[in-house]
Structure 1
Amino acid sequence: MTQRFEGTTALITGGGTGIGRQSALALAALGCTVTVAGRTVATLKDTVEAIAETGGAARYVECDVTDEQSVANAVQVAIGDFGRLDFGINSAGVSGGDNLRKTADYPTEMFDRMIAIDLRGTFLSMKYELRQMQAQGFGSVVNIGSGASVVGVPGFAGYTAAKHGVIGLTRTAALDYGPDGIRVNSIAAGLVNTPLIAAGRSPETMAARIAAHPLGRIADPQEIADAVVWLCSAQSSFVTGVALPVDGGYTAR
């Protein structure tokens, strides 16, 4: 295990599954001490155990990103005895599945849920991550967005609005905190092959989703995690305020 990130710490929301879990594994494999946060303790424990099996250092904290005190506590756990937070990976989110509705028919309660988790949850996570990073004078925040962060998606009013908002937060924070030595970026991810993606979807629906990606497939979680690692690393030291497409060409249309 290379120690490229030895001595660094990271908080990863949504770290029990999908992109968050894979990002935790990738950073830990490079020597970072990671704290995974989320609502489902069982999956968080699975991530921590998987990291421990490969010789990495990790811990978990139960966290609901819609609850401000819960988020503040998670950041403090991640800072821990190190007294620093190098990376904030904000991956917690929900998509709304395939309950497609035109904008005027989109359920208000679903819209509110998208905003509360995907947008407000990202804001709260950034709020407390950035306070620590500003105090220490360095840090990198990576927000996990979507192709829906940069293009419209019919039937997904709430999700698209929330993910567009994440890009706005990313750009504003990059301007606010660049002078403090902090970089803030986002990843506009295409559809990612996680266990939940195919659940409840017909083969025809999945085929249509895959066909929307010019590379003819959807992403492996590791491909998104690789971009997370790069945005945390010194190799991207002059990159801030971007929405990096890792989407198989989805947004090139």
Structure 2
Amino acid sequence: MKQLENKVAIVTGGVSGIGKAIVERFVKAGAKVVVSDLNEKLGYELVNDDTNGNIVFIKADASSAEDNKKIVDVAIENFGALHIAVNNAGIGGPAAVVGEYPIESWQQVININLNGVFYGMHYQLPEIEKVGGSIINMASILGSVGFAQSSAYVAAKHGVVGLTKSAAWEYGTRGVRINAVGPGFIATPLIEDHMDQETQKHLASQHAMQRLGKPEEVAELALWLASDKSSFVTGSYYPVDGGYLAK
């Protein structure tokens, strides 16, 4: 039997990068997956590539409480239950020191990266509690340390780790495990399309393994946390960072 056989999952921000790798790994492990994102083109491409009806796409804004409720509703309507949620949607925001950071950008980053995780969990938890399951919140190595000119992102990711730990205590005896993942710098379109080779080389050098991570490497951890193999794991923060935090 596959690890996620007969399981239903939600993955937000799931049409590219880490999110897409998680969707593909979950489907391979037997899950039915509701994918949300703002990019409809990539979303429907993902659905069309899946010939077995294992993926449903919904256009949704992670920073909207109403949209997060709709995502859960779609999972129940299409697959009858919800066992797993990966709150992955996020943005980087502009680079600026705190005294010059645009107020609107601060609000946008916090709304998507932190409020969006809360909204997701708020609607996911009652359904997952009915059947038992797992929530995986995508934090970052920057949920543990600081990073110059990224105050909103760092603050949001620290918040995700704290939210995860608090919720894990609340639901520890209610059948829902809740954990956070902290990727290092991963070779996704966000980096490859927006950073020059010199910058990418510098980022790689900050990891003990002297390379960027791969989305698939993060997806493997998400699979473990989603599956019953991690049955005694909750309230934890797992870096997948090639040794970035070891220095």
TM-score (norm 1): 0.93
Spell out, residue by residue over 1:129-157, the C-alpha distance to the aligned partner (whole angstroms, 9 max, x if none).
112122x1411000111111111111110
The alignment's C-alpha RMSD in Å is 1.4
Unaligned runs of 5+ in 2: none
Note if contact 2:83-2:131 (Cα within 8 Å) is conserved in structure 1: no
Note if contact 1:15-1:47 (Cα within 8 Å) is conserved in structure 2: no
In 1, Cα distance between equivalents of 2:2 and 2:102: 48
In 1, Cα distance between equivalents of 2:49 and 2:143: 31
In 2, Cα distance between equivalents of 1:197 and 1:20: 14
In 2, Cα distance between equivalents of 1:44 and 1:200: 21
Note if contact 1:31-1:56 (Cα within 8 Å) is conserved in structure 2: no
Query: Residue in 1 aligned with 2:169?
Result: 175
Paired residue total: 247
Give, in angstroms, the shift of residue 15 of structure 1: 0.9
Spell out, residue by residue over 1:172-191, the C-alpha distance to the aligned partner (whole angstroms, 9 max, x if none).
11011111010000100011
1:108 aligns with 2:103: yes
Spell out, residue by residue over 1:52-104, the C-alpha distance to the aligned partner (whole angstroms, 9 max, x if none).
3xx561111111111111110111111225431110011100012xx432222
Note if contact 1:28-1:56 (Cα within 8 Å) is conserved in structure 2: no
Give, in angstroms, the shift of residue 196 of structure 1: 2.7
1:50 aligns with 2:49: yes
Query: Residue in 1 aligned with 2:190?
Result: 196
More off after superposition, 198-207 vs 239-248: 198-207
Give, in angstroms, the shift of residue 120 of structure 1: 0.5
Between the aligned residues of both structures, percent identity stands at 35
**Which 4+ runs in 1 deviate beyond 6 A?**
none
In 2, Cα distance between equivalents of 1:47 and 1:193: 20
TM-score (norm 2): 0.96
Query: Residue in 2 aligned with 1:95?
Result: 92
Q: Secondary structure of the equivalent of 1:12?
A: strand
